[in-house]
Amino acid sequence: MMLQAIIFTTGGAILALELLASRIMTPYFGVSLYIWSGILSITLVSLALGYWWGGRLAAGRKGHALSAEKLAYLFTLMPAVAAIAIVIACLAYPYLFYQLARFDLVVGAFLACLALLFVPLFATSAMNPLLVALLLKQSAAKGAAADAGAGSVFFVSTIGSVAGVIVTAFGLIPYLSNFVSTLLVAVVLAALPLAMIFRAPVRFAERKRLVTVTVVALIASLALLAGADLYTGRMWPANYSNTTWTPEKVYRSMFGTIKIIKSGPRDGEAFNRMYFQDGLVQNMVGSRNQSMSLYTYALEALAQSYRPGVKKALVLGNGAGMLPMRLAAQGVNITTVDIDPAALHAAQELFGFDPAKVKTVQADARTFLRGCDGSYDVVVVDLFHGDGVPDYLITRDIFRDLKSCLAAGGIAVFNTFADLDAPRPYAHFLTTLRTELPYIVLYRPDYGLATHVNSFVVASAQPLAAAAGADLSHVPARHFDALSAMLRQPRPLDQQLLRDGRVITDANNPVAADMASSQLVNRRYVVDALPAAFFVN
């Protein structure tokens, strides 16, 4: 029973590490095809090599099979080796992954997976064939004809993996940092050999060496776990944009990590707060609780310009809640939708968001749109996550649902990013949007030589009236000129903007590679701009 419990636990550790790897890597490399390609490929390679190597160890040299005592020693040693490898990876990744991301996002993602996953998964997967060989030895000693229960070994390991997913997703990620969660996996693995040594009904070869390695693994993992905050805290304060930043508060949930980072005096404010989620700056807010981000004012101005006297509006993506509160102050009946409960907590506690003035709904945007009642004058779409707007939120299907939410003459206002050097991915978005909301106008601020810029889109199912203008008296001086100039220069859709654009649907996304390349541009911009400390979650 003890042996099965060990293999169950190591199976859980394998999937726990895989899930945690995705969360650790997201701020550095983004939520992308490349991260999961790296995680899955490195995981499968590690498991395959571990199974093969474990079988080779069990077979012994020159056909001389290992003794039961040697097999028990190797089986028990592997969790301790895995734990030591996890500790080393945790010591390295806060610094290493930042450099790998700056080197190359695709190659770096694979190298990061290799550094974080290979040795622990290789060692723990080797335990399966070692256990089969050990059980076969025990069966033979009892004179029983048996296959040693090879099928049951892999069955128990796989069920353990399922348990590992559930415990990690619901018990670790929402409450603990990824750094601490990973070290907890190391502690559990390091403790397993002790259970074997003192409880398992088997004899061990090289018992002294086994105890030594186990003690080292357990002490190292417990020591780093105890000093986790101190170790990662060494990276702070961090310098960015000519001022010093320190972490103020962290909000965790199943949907991501929100980090609120606070600066010293900046731009005439006593401090700025940065709303930073999974490697993306969602908003910057001053000490007087005024947004310091241009996009907040651009979305408000476009809503006012194309739908004067708006009575009812829907905001998809609450973030810090700056825009909903601005519209609510003007008497607009506002509903915001955000899937992440942590976002609403952060907005209320640090950014002045008042749920008494804004109806808040915790739901997936797509699910909410499917049940929409078609009464909104304006729908604001601000759904950035990781590298940009996720592919499943820019399909014809969701735009059809969005259209059904709009009242007669209603408009949708989008906050997006565009890469002017590689316009084709953005052409896919515009081409898809036009299938359901054909009347579209585009706005882009002029940032000189910058080629990675905000693009604001106003779209409707009916012809758009001329923009009526908006009150910009509350816009900070740093954004006033750029916003005023942008609003004077709307750009209707033309063939240049739509060139090579293809329609994306839920059932068919023929442009995944183009969209992934666009996401890489955004991630590169973020990693190059921000210090390493910001990305450790």
Residue type, 456: F
CATH number of the CATH domain containing 489: 3.40.50.150
Is 282 part of any domain? Answer: no
For the chain, how many structural domains are there in total?
A: 3
Enclosing domain of residue 45: 2-233
Residues 197 and 52 in one domain: yes
pLDDT of residue 282: 86
Mean pLDDT of 267-276: 89
Residues 373 and 497 in one domain: yes
- For the cut 70, the answer to whether the pLDDT of residue 142 exceeds it is no
Residues 361 and 475 in one domain: yes
- For the cut 70, the answer to whether the pLDDT of residue 387 exceeds it is no
Listed in sequence order, the DSSP H helices in 206-352 are 207-226, 228-233, 294-306, 322-329, 341-350
Q: Are 13 and 185 in contact (CB under 8 A)?
A: yes
Question: Which comes out higher in pLDDT, residue 203 or 508?
Answer: 508
Residues 23 and 120 in one domain: yes
Residues 229 and 242 in one domain: no
Q: Are 97 and 91 in contact (CB under 8 A)?
A: no
- For the cut 90, the answer to whether the pLDDT of residue 421 exceeds it is no
Is 41 part of any domain? Answer: yes
Using alpha carbons, select from 377, 386, 492 the residue that is nearest to residue 33: 386
DSSP 512-526: HHHHHHHHHHHHHHH
* Among 35-49, 54-68, 409-423, 500-514, the range of highest mean pLDDT: 35-49
Residues 264 and 140 in one domain: no
Is 70 part of any domain? Answer: yes
pLDDT in tens, 221-251: 999 999 999 999 999 999 998 899 999 999 9
Domain boundary residue among 214, 246, 277? Answer: 277
- For the cut 50, the answer to whether the pLDDT of residue 145 exceeds it is no
pLDDT in tens, 123-140: 999 999 998 888 887 766
d(CA 243, CA 224): 30
Is 350 part of any domain? Answer: yes
- For the cut 70, the answer to whether the pLDDT of residue 450 exceeds it is no
pLDDT of residue 347: 93
CATH number of the CATH domain containing 206: 1.20.1250
Residues 257 and 313 in one domain: no
Range with the poorest average pLDDT among 306-320, 321-335, 418-432? 418-432
Domain boundary residue among 221, 251, 277? Answer: 277
Is 287 part of any domain? Answer: no
What residues are paired with 272 via a beta bridge?
A: 286
Residues 262 and 337 in one domain: no
Is 101 part of any domain? Answer: yes
d(CA 2, CA 156): 12
Residues 347 and 270 in one domain: no
pLDDT in tens, 155-166: 999 999 999 999
Is 516 part of any domain? Answer: yes
Residues 246 and 350 in one domain: no
d(CA 419, CA 452): 5
Is 453 part of any domain? Answer: yes
pLDDT of residue 67: 85
Residues 69 and 158 in one domain: yes
Residues 226 and 351 in one domain: no
